[in-house]
A and B are shown apart, each in its own frame.
Chain A
Amino acid sequence: MGIAERWSRRGGRSAGDEALIRSLYEEHGRSLLAYATRLTGDRAAAEDVVQETLVRAWKHADDMVNNKGSVRGWLLTVARNIITDRARARAVRPTEVAETPTTPPIQRDHAQGVVDSMAVLSALNTLSAEHRDVLVEIYYRGKSVTEAASTLGLPPGTVKSRSHYALKALRTAMAEQPAEVTR
């Protein structure tokens, strides 16, 4: 408790800041790093992206928490935007113009507009666990019906029919999603 408490006294809100970043890291770090590594093809670059993503999450915690989608979706979208911006900056900027690390070159932090692009993820989060699990196994983990059946402890026939009803439930969830964030 000592260190964090000292932080708390010295920096005002710092203990809370650390807690926020720690909990984001512990919950979403693997997902973020794997995603950034695939997009950048470079573990070191991916780590930089994750770091920047977490810093932005900390700066925009209110947006992140109050957006209608999932925190995971918010973070992944921010990571993707950072990667896109960096790629663009590399393509456009003359190489001799170095970015000064203390002044961020792009103030637009993508805090807005992040919400909708992960609408599917948000909708998936509203499905029942049964429905979501079957889609995750089959679609996102690329499992066969037999593999999914054994992972989920279901007869293969149930996996097939459930995957259908899961898609239908997802369609309903997508349709019900509010178009705008309530302030």
Chain B
Amino acid sequence: MTAPEHDKALVGAYVLGVLSPEENTAAEAHLDSCPECRRELDELRMLHDELGEVPPEAFLDGPPDGGDLLLQRTLREVRGISSRQRVWGGSLAAAGLVAVVALSVGAGVFVGNQTASGPGNGVAAPTASPLPPGTKHASNVDATTGAHLAATVIPANNGWVKLQVQAGDIAPGQRCKLFVTSKAGKQEQFGGWLVGANATPGKSITLDGTALMSINDVASVSVVNDQGQVLVNTPV
């Protein structure tokens, strides 16, 4: 057998250990004779080691098995702390965060400087499960600021709504808050993020949140900066 062909695309698979024994032998024979592939191998091997820093549990989704006793316990602790500390220090009070978080797929939300990455790879794929009946979609582009906002409002239990928001074209460096406004004019914040200093036009971020508002009461969703300026608002 002559030296196997040069196929750099197999180096990654070799590093990951997914080649068949025959392919493995062939790849090793080739690596012996090809400095270019060896260089590739060294780089990818380092990366492979870094993959090991992420625990495999990072790719599990959903609540724990076995009911929500743990959740109830945690809520009790937080209520206890809340009632002891009437005055709030720290960032949470300032932010007045209602809820944030949670991409439906993969390993959580990527916020903050996310706008620095490309539209095709910055945000994970949307959730695969079908949206429940009653879900509303809305979007708008603000004529003045140029910011765009797309919101999906999903009915949830006990008078809550889930909100999935995509926003973009917001001037860099701004602290943004997401608000949902009821028909009666009541506002609830349901998330926030910081637009990266190097944010590129055309890139957007995706955030999920929840708010204590019945879906029938939802009038609009908006992005507001920390000066109180409405950057974009979309009626729902």
Chain A residues with CB under 8 Å of chain B are 1, 4-5, 7-8, 11-35, 38, 47, 50-51, 54-55, 58-76, 117-118, 120-122, 124-129, 132, 135-136, 138-142, 144-145, 148, 159-161, 163-171, 173-174, 176, 178, 181-183
Contacts and interface: CB of A to CB of B under 8 A. Distances in A.
B92 A76 contact: no
Given A18-B75, A30-B64, A70-B107, A24 B212 contact: no
Contact of A178 (B100, B110, B113): B113
Contact of B116 (A63, A167, A170, A176): A176
B107 A125 contact: yes
Contacts of A70: 107-110
Given A125-B108, A171-B44, A163 B12 contact: yes
B26 interface: no
Contact of B212 (A1, A66, A160, A168): A1
Contacts of B88: 13
A126 B117 contact: yes
Contacts of B146: none
B155 interface: no
Q: Interface on chain A toward B: helix, strand, loop, or mixed SS? A: helix
Interface string B97-124: 1111111011111111110110011101
Which 9 residue pairs across A and B have the least CB separation, nearest first? A72-B108, A164-B12, A1-B159, A62-B91, A16-B98, A70-B108, A27-B102, A35-B57, A160-B13
Nearest to B83: A11
Contact of A120 (B12, B50, B70, B98): B50
A59 B62 CA distance: 22
Contacts of B64: 25, 29-30, 32-34, 50
Contact of B101 (A27, A31, A183): A27
A55 B74 contact: yes
Interface string B164-180: 00000000010000000
Interface stretch (B28-36, B134-142, B186-194, B227-235): B186-194
B5 interface: no
Contacts of A64: 100-101
Contacts of B44: 164, 167-168, 171
A135 B53 CA distance: 14
A139 B52 CA distance: 9
Contacts of A28: 102, 108
A159 B11 CA distance: 13
A145 B17 CA distance: 10
Contacts of B99: 16, 19-20, 22-23
A129 B47 contact: no
B105 A136 contact: no
B92 A62 contact: yes
Contact of A65 (B54, B121, B191): B191
B98 A34 contact: no
Contact of B54 (A19, A118, A126, A167): A118
Nearest to B90: A59
A5 B212 contact: yes
A26 B160 CA distance: 15
B16 A129 contact: no
B159 to A, nearest CB: 3
B107 to A, nearest CB: 4
B64 to A, nearest CB: 4
B18 A145 contact: yes
Given A30-B63, A61-B95, A135 B51 contact: yes
B211 interface: yes
Nearest to B95: A62
A14 to B, nearest CB: 6
A117 B54 CA distance: 9
B79 interface: yes
A109 B167 CA distance: 31
Given A76-B58, A164-B13, A125 B53 contact: no
